[in-house]
Amino acid sequence: MSVELPFAPVDAIIRQNAGNLRVSAGAAEELARRIQEHGAELAIDAAERATEDGRKTLMAEDFGVEQVVERDDLELPVAPIDRIARLQIDDRYRVAMDARIALADILEDYATNVASAAVKLTHHAGRRTVQAEDIETYFSLFE
C-alpha cells in the first residue's frame, strides 16, 4: 500500500514535539504510514455507522466528532485524508468535507501523541535524531 499522506506535514508535527532534536526522513515516513493505517481503520468503523443510519456519506459524527475544527487550524492536508478514508471502504461511500476535517483532526492528535512519545524514546536512547525505530518502538510498546 502506497502512502497517501505527504511526509512534510508529518515531519512538521514531529518537529513541534522534538524541541532541539533532528527528525529523520524515515521517522516522518514511518509515522505517515501509521497515520494512514489508523485513518483507514477509523473510516471502516465510520462507514459501518453510516450504513446503520442508512447513509452512503460519512459525516463527522460517524467519527465521533461533534464539533469540527477550522480547516486552517490543521497541519495535515485534507485531500490526502479523503483518499486515506477511502482506502478500505467501498467506493459507493462519499466522505463529506466535515468528515474529512474531523478525521484530519483526529489523525493529527494521534500523530502528536505518537511523536511526543517517540521524542521521549529518542532522549532515552541518548540520540539527537528522532528515527523510524522510535516510531516503531512506540507501536511495539503501546499498541
Residue 37 domain flag:
yes
Please report the pLDDT score of residue 34 as a whole number: 97
Task: Write the single-letter amino acid at 99.
Answer: A
* Residue 2, pLDDT above cutoff 80: no
Handedness of CA 45, 91, 95, 2 (dihedral sign): positive
Residues contacting residue 12 through CB under 8 Å, at least 6 positions apart: 75
Residue 114 lies in a domain: yes
Set of cell numbers at residue 76: 495535515
Half-sphere exposure of 13 (CA within 13 A, CB side): 32
* 60 within a domain of the structure (yes/no): yes
Q: In this model, does residue 1 exceed pLDDT 70?
A: no
pTM score, two decimals? 0.95
Tally of domains within the chain: 1
Candidates 114, 65, 55; CA nearest to 89 is 55
What CATH number did the domain enclosing 87 receive? 1.10.20.10
Angle at 142 between CA 98 and CA 42, to 5 degrees: 25
Whole-angstrom distance, CA of residue 127 vs CA of residue 21: 8
pLDDT digits (tens, 9 = 90+) for 45-96: 999 999 999 999 999 999 999 999 999 999 999 999 999 999 999 889 999 9
Give pLDDT, residue 15: 97
Domain enclosing residue 34, as ranges: 7-142
Q: Is residue 31 part of a domain?
A: yes
Residue 3 has pLDDT above 90, yes or no: no
2 in a structural domain: no
Letter for the amino acid at 115?
A
Whether 1 is covered by a domain: the verdict is: no
What's the pLDDT tens digit per position in 96-110?
999 999 999 999 999
Look at residue 115 and tell me whether its pLDDT is greater than 90: yes
